[in-house]
Amino acid sequence: MQIAFYAPLKAPDNETPSGDRRVAALYTEALERAGHRVEVVSNLRSYDGTGDREMQLALRRRGLAAAEELAAQLQKRKSSERPDVWFTYHVYYKAPDWLGPRVSRVLGIPYVVVEASHAPKRAGGPWDVGHEASAEAIRLADLLICPTRFDIGCLEPLVADRSRIVLLPPFLDTKSYEAAVSDRIAHRTRLAGEHGMDTTVPWIAIAAMMREGDKAASFRELAEVLGRIRDLRWHLLVAGDGPARSEIARALEDAAPGRVRLLGTVEAAEVAAVYAASDLCIWPACNEAYGMAMLEAQAAGLPVISCAHRGVPDVVLDQRTGLLAPSGDTQALARLARELLVDAARRAQLGGEARRFVASERSLAHAALHLDRALARVQAQRREPAIRPN
């Protein structure tokens, strides 16, 4: 199939690194692995982060105009070059999809949305324009692909036909993590030399952007956890950077003087190496949809300690690939961290299962197969005629 791909929050080729950009790129890779031709048909960004109604209305006008222009352009193509399916990644109240519903209707093709979210509490608030547009897109979608069971529960009130909702948990390409694990000793030796760390004690590793909001909240909770376990011997490696670095660095260093190594922004291959060289990942995941970084840590054989909140239980399997505490309970997180820091055998058992879990159930190949089946089904079911403009 020819897939028209669109990410209203951040395009796969956006210059600013983020988890959202990474996941958008993974979906294009999975679609291509399944044999589909993927075209990013627009880089129009519909994001409003401030709750400015006038900005949202301006984005709507711009989006609707862009939809009309794009639909006309695609209609002029030869039939063999037109998209068979419209595929939008990540729709929510701050970044609604103004293009997909209209272009897919004009072309008479299925409208597919991945990772849509709906929060009724946003109705009538500062983002009401985007909230209503996102709800309408959810209602119109021929197929809704959800990464977590939490998301499914949010969408069900808007969808009469539950068969339109499909669960496809987060996934990734495991190649770089498998390669890093095979060179674990070399990576650990190198990092120990570069950052003055003791290879005989456990290493805790995380990778996260250092920005205000939920990320900074997670780092603050992490600092509380570290303060509760500083009687034990360990090192912390942090891959990531951002505008809140100074505040975060101060909180971590105050909690664990001399134990923290801030690596800054590093390439994906180095993140895999840091994980593979380490022993444990601890991340509170405050208000995160699911946490791709924790899936990456598991791909490198690390057990993960986090909180059973939103989509995290779909990424970290409690007692199988890691340990989950109640949301926001730093005392429970510290207790679980202590359990694993003093039990190397349990860490190894959970870490081995984490690596097997990602390789077998959260791989790019696994996702490609399920995406292909879902798209084939929705295309076969779609029988509505195209609406031609006057």
Mean pLDDT of 204-218: 95
Q: State the pLDDT at residue 184.
A: 97
pTM assigned to the model: 0.89
Q: State the pLDDT at residue 122.
A: 93
Helix (H, G, I), strand (E, B) or coil at 137: helix
Asked if 375 and 85 count as a contact pair (C-beta separation under 8 A), the reply is yes
Domain boundaries, the chain: 2-171+364-381, 175-361
**Residue 387's pLDDT band (boundaries 50, 70, 90)?**
very low
The tens digit of pLDDT for each residue in 148-164 reads 999 999 999 999 899 99
Q: State the pLDDT at residue 106.
A: 96
Q: State the pLDDT at residue 383.
A: 55
Same fold flag, 2-171+364-381 and 175-361:
yes
Element containing residue 323 per DSSP (H, E): strand 322-325
The tens digit of pLDDT for each residue in 39-76 reads 999 999 999 999 999 999 999 999 999 999 999 999 99
What amino acid occupies position 33? R
Q: What is the CATH number of domain 175-361?
A: 3.40.50.2000
Q: What percent of the chain has pLDDT over 70?
A: 97
Element containing residue 263 per DSSP (H, E): strand 260-264
Helix 128-140 to helix 100-107 angle, to the nearest 10 degrees? 30
Element containing residue 89 per DSSP (H, E): strand 85-91
Check if CATH label 3.30.450.20 holds for domain 2-171+364-381.
no
Q: How many whole angstroms separate alpha carbon 375 and alpha carbon 88?
A: 13
Helix (H, G, I), strand (E, B) or coil at 118: coil
